[in-house]
Amino acid sequence: MSFILLGILNSQAAAGGGPIVAVAGYVAGGFNGSIRVDTVDKLAFPGETISTLATGLSVIRNALTGFSNANVAGYAAGGLSASNRNTVDKFAFPGDTRTTLGTGLSSGRRSLAGFSDNTVAGYAAGGLSASAVSTVDKFAFPADSRTTLATGLSSARERLAGFADPSVAGYAAGGSTGSLVSTVDKFTFPSDSRITLATGLSNSRDVVAAFADNAVAGYVLGGPEPPTTTVDKFALPSDTRSTLASGLSRAKFSGAGFANSGVAGYYLGGDSAFRTDEIEKFAFPSDTNSVLTTVLSDNNDQSGAMQNA
């Protein structure tokens, strides 16, 4: 874009409900260097143990995105199989049972970004259809009804990433319009009005990943090709940007990102000189980085991320 005994209380409460509790993050689909996959790996918090869901995606695909209805369900949206997909798979928490929405994306597309507003709505932004698009689809929870925002991205672009400050705003960062951009668009909740931050990424890049520490900071990691170790941090709600002195452990692109808010953010998989099964952890609030001994079930990039939180 992710329960009580296993979780850590987040700093934001779900709209109209109790606290958001982080239980697990998920990495869905992707490309292992040989084939596209339907695999969904689950990283359980706080022990950081990995398992693979018995039921994966409904369609094997890569270049998808994810978003979540906090503590209710995670969604894996879009991607590429034999063609661009409008498929949206829904994984109900805590059983991780999968259904596929009757109404998918407004168009088949890949290399898009996802972000969520707590228990209110999930968003799928941009991507590549016949060409790059500025479309932002919104799925209202819990009905999962879809609308398309009248105001989309500030420019048509693909290979971008999304993060959110729940109940405040969602962000669509970086990407490519045919050339790389440093643009960060901000959508204010609940109006979905858009502005473009005066200060974007520290350099123009695509195939980035993102995660957020709720109400504290959003992070945009890695990218482009050739890859970088860069991690930009946007303080919330001011949106002031800094760049971490210590970024990724090595230069990577096309990884996935999710967070256990208040505890740590994770960058999973990705590509450098080779695709990897590595999981990198950025501890909050120090942003110190380590590489877990736990790894994904396979080397993987171009996957989508969602979380039970």
Domains and CATH numbers, the chain: 9-308 (2.120.10.80)
Percent pLDDT > 70 in the chain is 94
Res. 225 pLDDT band, cuts 50 70 90: confident
Other C-beta atoms lying within 10 Å of the C-beta of residue 109 = 28
pLDDT for the residue numbered 23 = 96
Sign of CA dihedral 175, 173, 286, 117: negative
| Contact call for residues 282 and 219 (beta carbons, < 8 A) | yes
| Contact call for residues 130 and 165 (beta carbons, < 8 A) | no
Q: Contacts by 288-294 with C-beta closer than 8 Å and gap 24+?
A: 288/246, 289/244, 289/246, 289/247, 289/248, 289/249, 291/249, 292/48, 294/43, 294/48, 294/49, 294/50
| Contact call for residues 211 and 258 (beta carbons, < 8 A) | yes
> Across residues 83-105, what is the average pLDDT?
97
Nearest to 110 by CA among 76, 67, 74: 76
pLDDT for the residue numbered 17 = 45
pLDDT for the residue numbered 7 = 28
Other C-beta atoms lying within 10 Å of the C-beta of residue 284 = 17
pLDDT for the residue numbered 46 = 95
Find all residues with CB under 8 Å of 118, minimum gap 6, and list them.
12, 14, 15, 20, 70, 166, 167
> Across residues 167-172, what is the average pLDDT?
97
Residues of the chain by 3-state class (helix, strand, coil), percent to 5? 0, 45, 55
Res. 101 pLDDT band, cuts 50 70 90: very high
pLDDT for the residue numbered 240 = 98
| Contact call for residues 78 and 84 (beta carbons, < 8 A) | yes
Other C-beta atoms lying within 10 Å of the C-beta of residue 22 = 27
Beta bridge partners of 69: 73
State yes or no: pLDDT of 98 exceeds 90: yes
State yes or no: pLDDT of 209 exceeds 60: yes
